């Protein structure tokens, strides 16, 4: 259900996250400011915006046939990173061949051979990074399947194996929502972490943004905030509090539904402009110079 459908539910993690975002206020810093730059670097590549797509699955079935590649092209047009969720090998190859900078997130299949086959394919076809979900093993109905295929929980030792198997390909752990799990990812030498509650699969989940603030005090490892990003102001708050970049899901799905590729491209562009304006009026010259002291928490 959407946040609107759950507007009165205090357990709904999407509502909790929205309340947290909306409790964050910003001060302005005009003197000496000038138009900010939104370029950022990731794994040796330069991008025009830190507004990335989320690792969405089954877009063609959920939205309309061709939605996946429409979103991929929209990301490419804006110089943005394109993340992929559950995908066939052919779909990953299509996105890479279209010139997209792809990060593929692979499910923790109980058939670990399948996981490693998918990882090896990702390496061969030229994605910029790959990773694994750690947070979808136990869904709301306590089942552990995706498309009928069983999933299996991941141990700390396996995380190390996954990173080693990835070799030179950057490997990302998605679904971090605690310092404990972040420490496992750090010990495994993962190249980055996605801070996420996976659309609120657990009630009363701590807001990912709050966890990220704690993690930024412990590591300078790339961290990507996923869940609940609606506009460029949310992007700004996330980056001010430590995110390297953000992943946008529901907002881009809605843009696809309303305007297909052009709609998604326009939405990424709009969010980037909103981010740039907020950076400019708060004296942040580029994405390497965010200052958390600009953020204030509403206390009334």
**Residue 164 CB-density burial (10 A; 0-12 exposed, 13-18 middle, 19+ buried):** exposed
Q: Note whether 48 and 38 are within 8 A (CB).
A: yes
Compute the distance between CA of residue 287 and CA of residue 232 in angstroms, rounded to an integer. Answer: 13
Tokens of 276: 């740039």
CA dihedral 130→131→136→138, nearest 10 degrees, is 140
Catalytic residue among 58, 121, 197, 198: 198
Q: What separation, in Å, do the N-terminal and C-terminal C-alpha atoms of the chain show?
A: 30
Catalytic-residue membership of 198: yes
What three-state secondary structure class fits 70?
helix
Show which residues are catalytic.
198
């Amino acid at each position: 259900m959407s946040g609107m459908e759950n507007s009165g539910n205090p357990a709904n993690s999407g509502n909790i996250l929205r309340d947290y975002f909306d409790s964050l206020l910003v001060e302005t810093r005009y003197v000496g400011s000038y138009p900010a730059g939104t370029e950022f670097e990731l794994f040796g590549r330069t991008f025009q915006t830190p507004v990335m797509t989320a690792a969405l699955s089954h877009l063609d079935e959920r939205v309309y046939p061709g939605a996946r590649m429409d979103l991929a092209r929209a990301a490419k047009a804006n110089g943005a990173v394109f993340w992929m969720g559950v995908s066939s090998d052919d779909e990953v190859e299509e996105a890479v061949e279209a010139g997209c900078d792809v990060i593929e997130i692979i499910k923790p299949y109980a058939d670990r051979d399948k996981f490693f086959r998918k990882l090896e394919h990702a390496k061969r076809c030229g994605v910029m990074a790959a990773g694994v979900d750690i947070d979808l093993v136990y869904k709301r109905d306590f089942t552990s399947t995706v498309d009928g295929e069983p999933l299996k929980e991941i141990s700390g030792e396996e995380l190390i194996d996954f990173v080693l198997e990835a070799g030179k390909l950057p490997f990302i752990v998605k679904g971090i929502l605690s310092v404990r799990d972040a420490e496992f990812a750090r010990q495994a030498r993962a190249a980055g972490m996605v801070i996420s509650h996976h659309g609120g699969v657990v009630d009363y989940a701590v807001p990912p943004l709050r966890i990220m603030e704690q993690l930024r005090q412990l590591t300078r490892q790339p961290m990507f905030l996923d869940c609940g990003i609606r506009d460029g102001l949310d992007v700004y708050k996330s980056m001010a509090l430590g995110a390297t970049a953000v992943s946008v899901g529901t907002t881009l799905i809605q843009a696809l539904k309303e305007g297909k590729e052009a709609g998604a491209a326009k939405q990424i562009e709009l969010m980037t402009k909103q981010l740039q304006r907020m950076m400019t009026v708060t004296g942040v010259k580029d994405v390497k110079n965010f200052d958390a002291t600009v953020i204030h928490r509403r206390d009334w």
